């Protein structure tokens, strides 16, 4: 009987340990994809914009945070694009989310940047998420990684956590995907220059600049 009670006590300890782990482990934040888009989801919003409203050329990018090619463009090509074309007044850049179904954490990543946008730190979180792609792409809880980036940026974490927990921008992300589908987007990154689809070669800064220069001349008064 003594052995029996010892076994029961051991089982109880193990069970208590599992319960404590379940209670204390970080909650996975999942952002639903199958949501009904309402007018409020898109009112006054059509992507995240950098650059002058009067820039002669607008480039619209559809991107996925878990896409390696999107990461490559964001970290290697885009800084030069921003410095020389956007900050120089030639280009207005419009970023739109297009999380692919095969990338399970991409939608949560997009929502994380939207929550950072609430606190005026969209582009900083955008960069941090792309930069840390190798850390979270295979993680069991990518939302935990995104939260750590937001914390390092100095965001108000209670506000951030409420935003993520409510999935308040799920409809906005779905609307962005639907807009891309209507334009024929089926891979990422995809670019539109003044409303026209750009070839894959335009992903490089040099090719994009040549295209922008030609359009700037053609739209000059």
The DSSP-derived string for 152-207 is HTT--HHHHHHHHHHTTTHHHHHHHHHHHHHHT--SSSEEEETTEEPPGGGGSHHH
Share the mean pLDDT of the chain. Answer: 86
pLDDT at site 26: 39
Q: Which two tokens stand for residue 81?
A: 């694009």
Q: Which residue has the higher pLDDT, 20 or 84?
A: 84
Over residues 26-77, the pLDDT tens digits come to: 344 579 888 989 999 989 999 999 999 999 999 999 999 999 999 999 999 9
Q: 119, exposed or middle or buried, with CB in 10 Å at 0-12, 13-18, 19+?
A: middle
φ/ψ region of 156 (left if φ > 0, alpha if ψ in -120 to 50, else beta) reads beta
Q: Which residue has the higher pLDDT, 134 or 34?
A: 134
Residue labelled with tokens 């694009």: 81
* Alpha-carbon radius of gyration of the chain: 22
Q: Are 138 and 3 in contact (CB under 8 A)?
A: no
**Torsion, Cα of 53, 59, 60, 63 (10° steps):** -130
Q: Which two tokens stand for residue 102?
A: 């095969």
Domains of the chain, each with CATH number or no CATH: 2-219 (3.40.30.10)
Cα distances (angstroms) measured from residue 122 to each of 11, 48, 103, 115: 48, 8, 21, 8
Confidence label for 204 from pLDDT (cuts 50, 70 and 90): confident
Q: 83, exposed or middle or buried, with CB in 10 Å at 0-12, 13-18, 19+?
A: exposed
φ/ψ region of 89 (left if φ > 0, alpha if ψ in -120 to 50, else beta) reads left
pLDDT at site 11: 43
Provide the 10 A C-beta neighbour count for residue 218. 10
């Amino acid at each position: 009987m003594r052995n029996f009670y010892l076994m029961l006590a051991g089982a109880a300890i193990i069970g208590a340990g599992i319960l404590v782990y379940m209670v204390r482990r970080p909650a996975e934040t999942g952002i639903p994809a199958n949501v009904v888009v309402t007018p409020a989801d898109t009112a006054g919003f059509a992507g995240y914009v950098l650059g002058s409203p009067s820039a002669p050329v607008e480039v619209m990018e559809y991107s996925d945070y878990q896409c390696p090619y999107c990461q490559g463009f964001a970290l290697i090509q885009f800084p030069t694009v921003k410095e020389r074309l956007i900050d120089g007044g030639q280009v207005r850049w419009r970023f739109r989310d297009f999380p692919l179904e095969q990338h399970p954490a991409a939608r949560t990543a997009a929502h994380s940047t939207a929550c950072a946008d609430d606190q005026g730190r969209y582009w900083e979180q955008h960069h941090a998420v792309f930069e840390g792609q190798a850390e979270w792409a295979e993680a069991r809880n990518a939302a935990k990684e995104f939260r750590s980036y937001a914390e390092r940026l100095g965001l108000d974490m209670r506000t951030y956590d409420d935003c993520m927990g409510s999935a308040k921008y799920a409809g906005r992300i779905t609307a962005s995907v639907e807009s891309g589908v209507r334009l024929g987007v089926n891979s990422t990154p995809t670019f539109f220059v003044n409303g026209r689809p750009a070839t894959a070669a335009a992903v490089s800064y040099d090719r994009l600049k040549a295209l922008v220069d030609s359009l700037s001349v053609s739209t000059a008064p």
